[in-house]
Amino acid sequence: MTPSAADLIRVLPEIIWCGFGVLLMLLQPYLKNRQGLTLFAMVGAAAGTLATYFGQMGTGFFGLIQFDTYSLFFHWLVGLVAFLVILASDSYLERENLAPAEFYALILFATAGMGVLASAQELLTAFIGLEMSSISSYVLAGYRRDAVKSSESAVKYFLLGSFATAFFLYGIALVYGASGSTNLAQIASADASSNLLRLGLTLILVGLGFKVAAAPFQVWTPDVYEGAPTPVTALFSAGPKAATFALLLRIFTTIHAATDFWFWAFWILAVVTMFVGNLGALVQTNVKRMLAYSSIAHAGYTLVAFAAVTTMKLDPETGAAPAYAAVLFYLLGYSLVKVGAFTIVSEIGGQGERYLTLDDFAGLGTRQPFAAAAMTLFLLSLLGMPITAGFFGKFYVFKAAINSKLIWLAVLMTINTAIGAYYYLRVIVVMYMREHKGDVPAEAATSLSPTAAMVVAVAALATLYLGLLPNHVLGIVLSQNLILSAR
């Protein structure tokens, strides 16, 4: 049984990403020029993303992967994130004096893993994707190996991550025991009332909940995000998270066994995650760590849309398309904003990431008007203010929740938004309304490097575009009914 050419083309993005990763490592001894490697890696990321153009819609590899508009969307998302993160890393790697080739290769391998996650139609394939992205992530987290925090981050991520992977794997085993298959479509037709199946799905939820940093599986997030090199943090908070959410959504909408049960699971996860993230962020004085907590909170907001999806499943009349669209739109807007925000944090941090506290951001509005303005835009987007991507993201999640008559969940989300206002606003306040205490260190006073500025500009423009003219993207995400029709 050799795979057909059409099947190979369906995984062409992953092949290209992996291929460029290998090439980067091979080229390293010959290509000493960092910028050349950066460019090469960017070409790789872009080529993989564009390769989706050739894929035919449909199931490939005997039902292992599903190439539909849904996975297409997430391929574009993770490809774009990888592209931006590589561009943003250029100046960081120079500043920290780190070897670029392996760094970029790992990013590309991780991206390939995310691509597999987004298109997996079978649980073991999903597991491979998860491992590809996770193992690359563990290494990336500890890439700044001279720094204690970075090593701590890597070890912590690795230990807890392996633990979560074990949960996921055990869940697959139980699901297989209950349904006799690891293929989503076949599991969907298994006896829905089986306790074994439910237990298996619960373990899968725990495993994936860890990867998206949903409380109570979020404890690793602040430390890992804080310790990892900042461009890597940007990647963590955007790419793997979006891809894991993609898998989670695919699993829990294809297998609609005991939907009631999932509704409450997501409801509780969403509420706990929102509160843990927001209350945790309130007391942070380190901007990087604050953004880590904020990304926990945002996982909670996304889970609100999940709860809406599962309720809508109960009622075939309304259809869940708007709720899917809410998840996709939210993840897109959120990922771009997070990449932009972490890029600014990375640049302000200076060598050795020394300037990350709120005090270091004081007076940024006068020192670096562009960085401060962009940061303000990103923070307002995270807060969900109008004319930014975050507003429409939050708006659609709200709308999905209310459509499903989850008024209480919407109200709790409202309260969380108001809590969030405090800590996002605090950074803006510090940037514009406080003066820097004492002299500004010379290296912190320089403006953004050109590459980082490009990333920030792209992210900022995208944020505004999604906030002002969401029609186009909305049209794309609303056509994601394929997983609906697949079952």
Partner 1 sequence: MEFSGHLLSILVFFPAFGALALLFLRSDDEPWIRRLTFVVSVVEFLFSLILLRVVAIGAPGYALTEYKPWISSPPINYHLGVDGISMFLVILTTLLTPICVLASWKGVHHRIKEFHVMLLLLEVGIIGVFLALDLFVFFLFWEVMLIPMAFLIGIWGHDRRIYAAVKFFIYTMFGSAFMLVGILWLYNLTGTFDLPAIQLTLQSAAFHLAPRTEMLLFLSFFLAFAIKVPLFPFHTWLPDAHVEAPTAGSIILAGVLLKMGTYGMIRFCLPLFPEASHRAAPVVAVLAIIGIIYGALVALVQPNLKKLVAYSSVSHLGFVVLGIFTFQTISMQGAVYQMLAHGISTGALFFLTGVLYDRRHTYEISEYGGLATPMPKYAAFFLFVALSSMGLPMLNGFVGEYLVLLGTYQVHWGWASWAATGVILSACYLLWAYQRVFYGEVTNEKNRNLPDIDAREKWGLIVFAVITLWMGIGSPYFTRRVAAPVNAVIEQTKSRYAEEASKPAAMPQPAALAIEAQPDSLRRTVSR
Write out the residues near partner 1 by the rule CB under 8 A: 322, 366, 380, 385-387, 391, 395, 398-399, 402-403, 407, 410-411, 414-415, 417-418, 421-422, 425-426, 429, 432-434, 470-471, 474-475, 478
Nearer Cβ to partner 1, position 114 or 400?
A: 400
Output the smallest distance, CB 142 to partner 1, in A.
38
DSSP state of 58: E
Nearer Cβ to partner 1, position 170 or 432?
A: 432
Output the smallest distance, CB 417 to partner 1, in A.
5
Nearer Cβ to partner 1, position 101 or 297?
A: 297
Output the smallest distance, CB 294 to partner 1, in A.
16
Q: Cα(62)–Cα(75) distance, rounded to whole angstroms?
A: 21
Residue 348 token pair: 């302000």
Output the smallest distance, CB 324 to partner 1, in A.
13
Q: Where does 15-77 show beta strands of DSSP type E?
A: 58-60, 65-67
Nearer Cβ to partner 1, position 256 or 434?
A: 434
Asked if residue 343 lies in contact with residue 88, where contact means CB atoms within 8 angstroms, the answer is: yes
**What is the SS3 assignment for 286?**
strand
Nearer Cβ to partner 1, position 34 or 434?
A: 434
Backbone phi, psi, residue 126, to 5°: -60, -40
Output the smallest distance, CB 79 to partner 1, in A.
26
Residue position matching structure tokens 């409380």? 215
Asked if residue 172 lies in contact with residue 204, where contact means CB atoms within 8 angstroms, the answer is: yes
Nearer Cβ to partner 1, position 202 or 403?
A: 403
Asked if residue 116 lies in contact with residue 191, where contact means CB atoms within 8 angstroms, the answer is: no
CB contact burial 77-101 (16+ within 10 A = b; e otherwise):
bbbbbbbbbbbbbbbbbbbbebebb
Nearer Cβ to partner 1, position 258 or 476?
A: 476
Nearer Cβ to partner 1, position 75 or 399?
A: 399
Nearer Cβ to partner 1, position 250 or 399?
A: 399
Output the smallest distance, CB 413 to partner 1, in A.
8
Residue position matching structure tokens 């460029």? 20
- Backbone angle region of 387, left / alpha / beta, with phi > 0 → left and psi within -120 to 50 → alpha: left
Nearer Cβ to partner 1, position 143 or 398?
A: 398
CA angle 253, 255, 259 (to 5 degrees): 75
Asked if residue 247 lies in contact with residue 304, where contact means CB atoms within 8 angstroms, the answer is: no
Output the smallest distance, CB 468 to partner 1, in A.
9
Output the smallest distance, CB 433 to partner 1, in A.
5
Residue position matching structure tokens 């992977």? 165
Output the smallest distance, CB 432 to partner 1, in A.
6
Residue 444 token pair: 């912190």
The alpha carbon of residue 90 and the mean position of all alpha carbons in its chain are separated, in whole angstroms, by 21
Residue position matching structure tokens 């109570």? 216
Q: Cα(97)–Cα(15) distance, rounded to whole angstroms?
A: 30
Backbone phi, psi, residue 186, to 5°: -75, -35
Asked if residue 348 lies in contact with residue 385, where contact means CB atoms within 8 angstroms, the answer is: no
Q: Cα(337)–Cα(388) distance, rounded to whole angstroms?
A: 10
Nearer Cβ to partner 1, position 186 or 417?
A: 417
Nearer Cβ to partner 1, position 46 or 282?
A: 282
Nearer Cβ to partner 1, position 70 or 392?
A: 392
Using only C-alpha atoms, the chain has a radius of gyration, in whole angstroms, of 21
Q: Cα(245)–Cα(419) distance, rounded to whole angstroms?
A: 24
Output the smallest distance, CB 218 to partner 1, in A.
24
CA neighbor of 16 nearest in space, from 61, 66, 83: 83
Output the smallest distance, CB 471 to partner 1, in A.
5
Q: Cα(440)–Cα(194) distance, rounded to whole angstroms?
A: 63
Q: Cα(41)–Cα(45) distance, rounded to whole angstroms?
A: 6
Helix axes 230-254, 69-96, angle to 10 degrees: 160
